[in-house]
């Protein structure tokens, strides 16, 4: 596999051991590719899946030093994989990641997301080596009273649906572990720096999840069906999947340099004025793909989903100098361009990775 030198990031990750939970998921498959291209040794840990996955399309197994398909709630197995690996970095992405599924299966959602997060942190306690840990939560961790303002990191946590509640609970658990076991005063003993990252909805090529707008659009158009929009006026801070991944990686490098400074929660999202509705995204997609029609389905009787959600990204900008590189329009263009383009998935991903990471500077 050809490696790519992302001038600023590569020296931090080349030949380093990186443990990724959820490496076979949508974000995980992109992160695995980015890190593999930088020469990192990837140890992935996820559940097996019968669904189509980007991870399989890009031959993800080949990119990993070790790819384990087990449950993060299997303590013994996880301990064997994670503690024996003694990783330099951990990116914890594994989750039941869908709001609608969390209404169908709340207990499993809490088990995987909340208890699973505590388990990962417990494993981190068992590591003797220095380790930089990024715990991925979501923009949905805030109590959303639909006040039409962007959330800052100090806003009250909450969660209407089980998914959001499970992730808000993760934030409290992460903060508790940071204060109890990984505090700054004792850094020289524990040598762990833990941040949580709250990113918004991501879009990108290779997402096949159920009930997410981009795969829903692609599935409907491929079957010549109308695209059914549940909540056309809902606005979301759409960003390309490489945006939060770029922010996670940049933040991780800063944590290596100054482990006591950046071990906190960060919002990661587009700029405040870069928010589009579901309907706007769908119209743009139809324009790019050159076909498709949509209609709105009645939301009465459907589970609650927030109408307005925006993040204030000024903290991460100020602290580490991260900036969104692609506007919502760019992200939509790049995403549907991926599905439209001919060629192998790994080549299409590589081109977009090179384009995006070429823009990252320290
Ligand atoms: N995709 C988004 O728009 C978005 C937005 C905000 C936050 N997030 C968060 O980012 C992370 C990654 O999201 P994604 O879109 O890649 O999700 P995904 O659903 O595509 O992937 C989830 C991954 O977690 C793994 N997993 C699930 N349950 C597991 C278990 N019990 N044990 C081991 N592995 C398990 C799956 O196998 C898969 O690899 C999640 O934590 C999600 O909550 C995603």
Closest Cα to atom 8 of ligand 1:
138
Q: Quickly state the pLDDT bin for 281 (edges 50, 70, 90).
A: very high
Residue 292 lies inside a defined structural domain of this protein: no
Within 13 Å and on the Cβ side, how many CA atoms surround 280? 14
223 is a domain residue? no
Number of structural domains (the chain) is 1
Express as a percent the part of the chain with pLDDT over 90: 80
Atom of ligand 1 nearest to the CA of 74: 32
Secondary structure (DSSP) of 3-42: ----TTTHHHHTT-EEEEETTTSHHHHHHHHHHHHTT-EE
pLDDT attached to residue 233: 87
Tokens of 213: 């707008």
Q: Residue 276 falls within a domain, yes or no? A: no
pLDDT at residue 234, rounded to an integer: 83
CATH at 31: 3.40.50.720
Question: pLDDT tens for residues 250-264?
Answer: 999 999 999 999 999
At residue 226, the pLDDT reads 94
Let me know if residue 265 belongs to a domain: yes
Please indicate, yes or no, if residue 90 is contained in any of the structural domains: yes
Tell me the percentage of the chain whose pLDDT exceeds 70: 95
Residue 303 domain flag: no
Index of the ligand 1 atom closest to the CA of residue 139: 6
> What pLDDT is stored for residue 280 in this prediction?
94
**Residue 35 within a domain:** yes
pTM score: 0.95
Structure tokens at 357: 């990471």
Give the residue, out of 25, 133, 197, with the most ligand 1 atoms within 8 A of its beta carbon, to mutate for a pocket test.
25
> Would residue 169 count as lying in a domain?
yes
Q: Is residue 1 scored above 70 in pLDDT? A: no
Atom of ligand 1 nearest to the CA of 98: 19
**Averaged pLDDT score across all residues of the chain:** 92
pLDDT band of residue 9 (cuts 50, 70, 90) is very high
Name the residue at shortest CA distance from atom 37 of ligand 1.
Answer: 47
Question: Which residue's structure tokens are 């417990």?
Answer: 122
Q: Which two tokens stand for residue 361?
A: 């500077």
pLDDT given for residue 310 in this prediction: 83
336 CA to middle of ligand 1, Å?
A: 21
Residue nearest to atom 42 of ligand 1 (CA): 97
Residue pLDDT, tens place only, 186-238: 999 999 999 999 998 899 999 988 888 999 999 999 999 999 998 888 877 78
Q: Which structural domain, as residue segments, surrounds residue 150? A: 10-199+241-269+312-328+343-357
Residues with CB under 6 A from ligand 1: 21-22, 24-28, 46-47, 49, 71-73, 93-97, 112, 116, 136, 138, 199, 201-202, 209
274: confidence class by pLDDT, cuts 50, 70, 90: confident
Cα–Cα distance measured from residue 62 to residue 55, given in angstroms and rounded to the nearest whole number:
10
């Amino acid at each position: 596999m050809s490696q790519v030198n992302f001038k600023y990031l590569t020296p931090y990750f080349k030949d380093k051991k990186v443990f990724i939970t959820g490496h076979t998921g949508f974000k995980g498959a992109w992160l695995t590719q980015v890190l593999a291209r930088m020469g990192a040794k990837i140890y992935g840990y996820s559940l097996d899946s019968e669904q189509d996955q980007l991870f399989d399309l890009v031959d993800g197994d080949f990119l990993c030093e070790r790819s384990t398909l087990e449950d993060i709630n299997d303590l013994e197995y996880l301990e064997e994989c994670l503690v024996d690996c003694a990783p330099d970095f951990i990116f914890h992405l594994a989750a039941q990641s869908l709001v609608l599924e969390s209404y169908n299966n709340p207990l499993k959602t809490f088990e995987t997301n909340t208890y699973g997060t505590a388990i990962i942190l417990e494993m981190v306690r068992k590591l003797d080596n220095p380790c930089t840990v990024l715990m991925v939560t979501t923009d949905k961790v805030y109590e959303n009273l639909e006040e039409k303002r962007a959330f800052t990191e100090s806003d009250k946590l909450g969660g209407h649906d089980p998914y959001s509640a499970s992730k808000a609970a993760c934030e409290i658990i992460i903060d508790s572990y940071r204060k109890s076991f990984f505090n700054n005063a004792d850094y020289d003993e524990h040598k762990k720096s833990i941040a949580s990252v709250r990113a918004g909805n991501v879009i990108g090529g290779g997402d096949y999840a159920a009930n997410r707008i981009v795969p829903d659009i692609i599935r409907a158009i491929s079957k010549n069906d109308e695209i059914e929009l549940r909540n056309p006026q809902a606005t979301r801070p759409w960003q390309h999947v490489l945006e939060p991944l770029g922010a996670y990686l940049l933040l991780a490098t800063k944590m290596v340099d100054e482990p006591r400074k950046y071990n906190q929660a960060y919002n990661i999202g587009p700029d405040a004025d870069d928010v589009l509705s579901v309907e706007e995204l769908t119209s743009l997609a139809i324009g790019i793909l050159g076909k498709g029609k949509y209609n709105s389905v009645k939301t009465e009787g459907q589970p609650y989903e927030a109408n307005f959600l925006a993040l204030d990204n000024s903290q991460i900008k100020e602290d580490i100098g991260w900036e969104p590189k692609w506007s919502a329009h760019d992200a939509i263009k790049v995403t549907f361009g991926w599905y439209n383009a001919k060629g192998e998935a790994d080549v299409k991903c590589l081109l977009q990775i090179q384009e995006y990471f070429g823009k990252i500077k320290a």
